[in-house]
Homo-oligomer: A and B are copies of this chain.
Amino acid sequence: MNSTAPLDVGDHQHATFPDGLDLECGVHLPSLDVAYRTYGQLSPRRDNAIVICHAFTGDQYVAETHPQTGKPGWWGRMVGPGRPIDTDRFFVICMNVLGGCMGSTGPRSLKPACAEGRVERWGTDFPPITIRDMVRAQYKLVRSLGIERLFAVVGGSMGGMQVLEWAVTYPHMMLAAMPIATAPFHSAQNIAFNEVGRQAIFADPEWYGGRYWEHNVVPARGLAVARMMAHITYLSEEALTRKFGRRVRQEPKDAQAPEASLAMFGDVFEVESYLRYQGSAFVRRFDANSYLTITRAMDWFDLAAEHDGELPAAFAGTPVRFCVVSFSSDWLFPTSSSRYLVRALNQAAANVSFVEIETDKGHDAFLLDEPDFDRTVRGFLCGVADHAGLA
């Protein structure tokens, strides 16, 4: 296959599992939808599948134009023909997470019991879910595609949490794991930032106790504030200084907020303008209840706690080959968290390599142009593929 050929993308894909899913909280989800996208071809031996787990506000459109926003896929530079995750060689699957809002079952979905009669959404009644619940939903989709063993599971940030949970829950179903810019638990600081975001949503007058759709509104201002704050944590101080510094811009009069008088001399800093744009763009594509459900799942993520506080025990005897990647200026999931993970993997006698990428781009670096990172991903996947005798 020519590596410059367009991506081989099929129709938008969707699977329904009428047997539902037993959640960790004890609730049985009566029906489960998984929305997903695939890229490349599954090999006759069905041994070349890579699951890519998306981050918190990501989705399944990893390497193609997003149907709602019209923007390029969120990891198009990493996934495609000839790319580090090479769809000429690998069959890539990316699924919208359980609890999300891009087609998989989540708070925006209809309650099954009401689907026949009165239409009612889950909203805040959606049961609390965990990262493991997300992974167990993904497992069902993978098995339904006739795949008994994955070549690899790859993901950054919350996607990396899912990678780790995959490796712990289904260690014999995958050859390789790449947890990127992530941690085996959510830190107190991460929980704190998530909580501020949630409170911002609750404070919005159009939150309506989570039943905003009944009023044909969304809690846009609160959700935008949550996104603005989260966005700061995705960037490093260096990146913000490099991109914006203290530059100011004169806002056109008609674009000025009612509170523009608060600006000194009518100007705003470029970094403010940028954050406001990020906030307002986000509310057009993301659901507030999903924001709450997924941040909660992240907060509760603690692999060691699932194994009596012993992280190495989670990986005891694992056959999975790990490549752990961190970024030097990432302060949301700092290198120290990755080192902690690598030490536990070493204690479990796992096959693990570790790379810290030098960059000033912060947590977002895993989505951006970082040649060293590209080489790391390509090298690791090729190495394991060659070792495993993959065609």
Taking Cβ atoms with an 8 Å cutoff, the residues of A that contact B are 25, 124-125, 128, 130, 185-189, 191-193, 195-196, 198-200, 202-205, 209-210, 221-222, 224-225, 228-229, 232, 235, 237, 240-241, 243-246, 257-259, 261-265, 269, 271-272, 275-276, 279, 292-293, 296, 299-300, 302, 305, 331, 334
Given A198-B262, A222-B203, A262-B128, also A240-B271 (CB < 8 A): no
Bound Cα distance from A135 to B49, whole angstroms: 65
Pick the 8 closest A-B CB pairs, nearest first.
A205-B205, A203-B221, A188-B240, A128-B264, A195-B272, A189-B237, A196-B229, A188-B271
Task: Establish whether residues A246 and B25, one from each chain, have CB atoms under 8 Å apart when the complex forms.
Answer: no
Task: Establish whether residues B25 and A258, one from each chain, have CB atoms under 8 Å apart when the complex forms.
Answer: no
Least CB distance, A375 to chain B, in whole angstroms: 30
Residues from chain B with Cβ under 8 Å of A228 in the complex: 192, 195-196, 199
Residue of chain B at shortest CB distance from A240? B188
Given A262-B124, A265-B25, also A200-B187 (CB < 8 A): no
Task: Establish whether residues A246 and B185, one from each chain, have CB atoms under 8 Å apart when the complex forms.
Answer: yes
Task: Establish whether residues B196 and A302, one from each chain, have CB atoms under 8 Å apart when the complex forms.
Answer: no
Given A199-B221, A205-B205, also A210-B259 (CB < 8 A): yes
Least CB distance, A277 to chain B, in whole angstroms: 12
Bound Cα distance from A185 to B296, whole angstroms: 36
Residue of chain B at shortest CB distance from A266? B128
Bound Cα distance from A299 to B199, whole angstroms: 25
Task: Establish whether residues A196 and B210, one from each chain, have CB atoms under 8 Å apart when the complex forms.
Answer: no
Bound Cα distance from A236 to B257, whole angstroms: 33
Bound Cα distance from A279 to B198, whole angstroms: 14
Least CB distance, A372 to chain B, in whole angstroms: 24
Given A124-B259, A199-B224, A296-B262, also A187-B229 (CB < 8 A): no
Task: Establish whether residues B264 and A25, one from each chain, have CB atoms under 8 Å apart when the complex forms.
Answer: yes
Residues from chain B with Cβ under 8 Å of A279 in the complex: 199
Residues from chain B with Cβ under 8 Å of A264 in the complex: 25, 128, 130, 296, 300
Task: Establish whether residues B334 and A237, one from each chain, have CB atoms under 8 Å apart when the complex forms.
Answer: yes
Task: Establish whether residues A237 and B187, one from each chain, have CB atoms under 8 Å apart when the complex forms.
Answer: yes
Residues from chain B with Cβ under 8 Å of A210 in the complex: 259
